[in-house]
């Protein structure tokens, strides 16, 4: 029987996008699935016998049904895809909006606001309050009535202090000290050296001054202080010589650095010197202590304390060139203060580049300020501030009161206390950081501001240029003579000056601002001038109370140094001023070790 012709058609399915069939249901983890082959049988006749026709297997009918189903599924998939595309656009936007909402709610936790007092906003406060400051001169304070708490306090009678020697025992040897630091750190070292020389029964060689990279002052003792007066004042208490005897100089090849340097711990008590240093001195005949700063405890027996006072307030007198020019400065400052009966306010302003850099505080100079401060820190202290263990927290420094006050802040404080624009101000300072910009607000509040540079001619000042300690001595004298002294930063200069003023006047007559409180007020943009002024008046009253000599006897310590809080022994020195080497300062020739109460 003749069979009808049959056409066999073999076709490959269309590939999917990834190169594999879109109909594949499973894939092997090791290799991709091979594409299926579709076989279609097309007959040349409409009818065929059961024996001659090629019957389609069931699997082929199922595949055809699946194709129809896939077409339906693709139709719905296209619809869903279009909707999903819109969702894909909406969902990210919704997510972002929710995220920002949550961040806004939790931002105080994630990014807490700056702590009160941590940001320098003084210029903003000044600009806001300036109209009221400018018009507030009605209740100006008089310089002659600033200090009201001057009631005399009952001083305890002087003890029978044993200091002066009536008979001269054989000295134990020579003591050489090398004082380091600035003017007043050197002053502290000299006072301690005299006390230690007396303790050791040693002859003191005129102290030497170490050259320091920061102060860069090569001055010697005689350039700053009157050597003859120093030696004469201490006669009978401690023997002072200008140099070692010739025979000893020859032994040490005329080089002081060849002398044995005895290491002394900081704040060493009297017992340490008597037990550790004294035997070495007896053996060596000459000893050297270098560097010599803070090498004697503040708490010492009364007779040792008296020698510190004697040295500080009587023996140390500035050399003639310094004293003469300082007197000229004071006289001219008095002349410039005619509107206030010759009285003036002195301000020790520590806003030089090195001080601002060392404080690690941030002001309002932006990127330029940061660059200049980083450069100054690297130049002055190397990598100290960039080490991993050193953490700089400008905001915390400000809150803690460690940031130097700006000229603007000093001016606002004084105006708030009641000083008007007729007040004469002497500015004791080095070169102010960005002086033109930072001094402008102060000059608006106080037009009569003087410095040693404005009061002296260049020729008068020429011999002092480049000598920081001599320039500081000029400032010290002018500040000592002022009716009001304002200190803006800690340090040896204000400590010695406050103590010296207490010794001379019975009252420090000093404004020492509460900087922790001040930074809070200076950051409050809603503060009124009346509120600020009220707080400053309270601060002035507090300084008045604390300025007078305390009726109780303070125990000297690092927190209450004798140079800032003159002790009872210092006041005994005042009583003996009119009686040269009073008898109550006399002792016998008993061995020193046995005469000291440890």
DSSP 216-244: -----HHHHB-HHHHHHHTTTT--EESS-
Q: What is the pLDDT of residue 167?
A: 56
Residue 104: how many other CB atoms lie within 10 Å = 9
DSSP SS3 for 61: helix
CA atoms of 23 and 18, how far apart (whole Å): 12
Q: What is the pLDDT of residue 170?
A: 87
The mean pLDDT value of the chain amounts to 81
**Mean pLDDT along residues 100-110:** 57
359 closest CA partner among 389, 320, 339, 385? 385
Q: What string of DSSP letters covers 286-311?
A: EEEE-S-SS-S-S---HHHHHHHHHI
Judged by average pLDDT, the poorest of 87-101, 152-166, 367-381 is: 152-166
Query: Is the pLDDT confidence value at 115 over 50?
Result: yes
**Mean pLDDT along residues 65-69:** 53
- Tell me how far CA of residue 231 lies from CA of 141, 501, 573, in angstroms: 45, 24, 18
**Mean pLDDT along residues 111-129:** 88
Q: What is the pLDDT of residue 145?
A: 87
Q: Are the CB atoms for 41 and 16 separated by under 8 Å?
A: no
Query: Is the pLDDT confidence value at 459 over 70?
Result: yes
Beta bridge partners of 21: 15
Angle at CA of residue 365, ends 527 and 214, nearest 5°: 115
343 closest CA partner among 525, 167, 530, 145? 145
Q: What is the pLDDT of residue 32?
A: 42
Q: What is the pLDDT of residue 29?
A: 41
CA atoms of 504 and 495, how far apart (whole Å): 14
Judged by average pLDDT, the poorest of 44-48, 247-251, 385-389, 454-458 is: 44-48
Query: Is the pLDDT confidence value at 128 over 80?
Result: yes
Angle at CA of residue 566, ends 565 and 571, nearest 5°: 150
pTM above 0.85, yes or no: no
- Tell me how far CA of residue 103 lies from CA of 94, 106, 109, in angstroms: 14, 5, 9
Judged by average pLDDT, the poorest of 3-17, 215-229, 232-246, 558-572 is: 3-17
**Mean pLDDT along residues 263-288:** 96
DSSP SS3 for 318: strand
pLDDT digits (tens, 9 = 90+) for 129-157: 999 999 887 678 888 889 986 654 545 55
Q: What is the pLDDT of residue 24?
A: 40
Higher-confidence residue of 35 and 467: namely 467
pLDDT digits (tens, 9 = 90+) for 224-274: 999 999 999 999 999 999 999 999 999 999 999 999 999 999 999 999 999
Domains of the chain in start order, with CATH, are 1-18+36-113 (no CATH), 122-153+319-352+404-549 (3.40.50), 164-317 (3.40.50.11340)
Q: What is the CA radius of gyration of the chain?
A: 43
505 closest CA partner among 560, 563, 555, 547? 547
Give the phi and the psi of residue 49 in degrees, each rounded to 5: -80, 160
Query: Is the pLDDT confidence value at 39 over 50?
Result: no
DSSP SS3 for 6: strand
Q: Which residue has the tokens 């699935």?
A: 33
Peptide bond into 291 cis (omega under 30): yes
Q: What is the pLDDT of residue 7?
A: 44
Instruction: Write the DSSP symbol of residue 316.
Output: -
Q: Report the Cα–Cα distance between both ends of the chain, in Å, rounded.
A: 142
Higher-confidence residue of 234 and 591: namely 234
Q: What is the pLDDT of residue 214?
A: 67
Output the six-digit token pair for 448.
């009569």
What are the respective helix, strand and coil percentages of the chain, to the nearest 5?
50, 10, 40
**Mean pLDDT along residues 483-499:** 95
pLDDT digits (tens, 9 = 90+) for 460-481: 999 999 999 999 999 999 999 9
């Amino acid at each position: 029987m003749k069979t009808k012709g049959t056409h066999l058609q073999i076709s490959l399915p269309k590939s999917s996008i990834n190169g594999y069939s879109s109909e594949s249901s499973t894939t092997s983890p090791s290799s991709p699935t091979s594409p299926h082959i579709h076989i279609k049988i097309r007959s040349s006749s409409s009818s065929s016998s059961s024996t001659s026709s090629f019957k389609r297997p069931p699997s082929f009918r199922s595949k055809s049904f699946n194709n129809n189903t896939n077409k339906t599924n693709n139709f719905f998939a296209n619809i869903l895809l279009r909707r999903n595309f819109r969702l894909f656009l909406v969902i990210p936007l919704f997510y972002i909006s929710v995220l920002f909402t949550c961040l806004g709610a939790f931002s105080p936790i994630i990014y807490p606001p700056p702590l009160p007092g941590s940001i320098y906003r003084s210029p903003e406060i000044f600009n806001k309050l300036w109209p009221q400051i400018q018009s507030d001169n009605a209740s100006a304070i008089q310089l002659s009535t600033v200090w009201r708490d001057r009631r005399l306090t009952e001083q305890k009678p002087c003890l029978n202090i044993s200091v002066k020697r009536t008979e001269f025992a054989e000295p134990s040897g020579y003591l050489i000290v090398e004082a380091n630091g600035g003017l007043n750190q050197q002053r502290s070292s000299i006072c301690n050296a005299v006390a230690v020389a007396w303790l050791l029964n040693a002859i003191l060689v005129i102290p030497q001054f170490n050259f320091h990279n920061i102060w860069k002052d090569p001055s010697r003792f005689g350039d700053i202080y009157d050597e003859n007066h120093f030696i004469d004042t201490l006669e009978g208490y401690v023997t002072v010589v200008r140099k070692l005897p010739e025979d000893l100089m020859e032994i040490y090849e005329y080089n002081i650095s060849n002398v044995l340097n005895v290491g002394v711990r900081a704040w060493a008590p009297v017992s340490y010197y008597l037990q550790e240093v004294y035997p070495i001195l007896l053996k060596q005949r000459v000893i050297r202590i270098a560097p010599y700063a803070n090498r004697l405890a503040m708490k010492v027996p009364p007779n040792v304390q008296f020698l510190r006072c004697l040295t500080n307030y009587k023996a140390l007198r500035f050399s003639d060139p310094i004293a003469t020019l300082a007197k000229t400065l004071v006289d001219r400052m008095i002349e410039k203060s005619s509107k206030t009966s010759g009285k003036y306010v002195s301000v020790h302003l520590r806003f030089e580049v090195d001080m601002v850099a060392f404080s690690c505080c941030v002001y309002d100079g932006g990127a330029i300020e940061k660059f200049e401060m980083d450069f100054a820190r690297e130049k002055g202290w190397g990598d100290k501030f960039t080490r991993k263990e050193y953490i700089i927290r400008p905001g915390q420094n400000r809150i803690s009161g460690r940031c130097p006050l700006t000229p603007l802040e000093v001016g606002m404080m004084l105006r708030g206390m009641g000083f008007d624009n007729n007040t004469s101000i002497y500015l004791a300072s080095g070169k102010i950081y960005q002086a033109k910009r930072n001094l402008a607000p102060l000059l608006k509040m106080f037009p009569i501001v003087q410095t040693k540079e404005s009061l002296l001619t260049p020729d008068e000042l020429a011999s002092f240029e480049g000598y920081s300690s001599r320039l500081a001595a000029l400032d010290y004298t002018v500040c000592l003579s002022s009716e009001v002294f304002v200190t803006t930063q800690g340090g040896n200069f204000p400590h010695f000056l406050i103590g010296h003023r207490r010794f001379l006047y019975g009252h420090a007559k000093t404004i020492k601002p509460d900087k922790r409180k001040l930074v809070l007020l200076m950051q409050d943009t809603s503060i009124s001038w009346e509120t600020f002024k009220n707080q400053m008046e309270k601060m002035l009253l507090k300084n008045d109370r604390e300025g007078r000599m305390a009726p109780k006897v303070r125990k000297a310590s690092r927190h209450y140094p004798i140079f800032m809080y003159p002790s009872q022994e210092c006041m005994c020195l005042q009583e003996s001023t009119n009686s040269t080497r009073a008898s109550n300062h006399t002792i016998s020739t008993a061995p020193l070790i046995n005469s000291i109460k440890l």
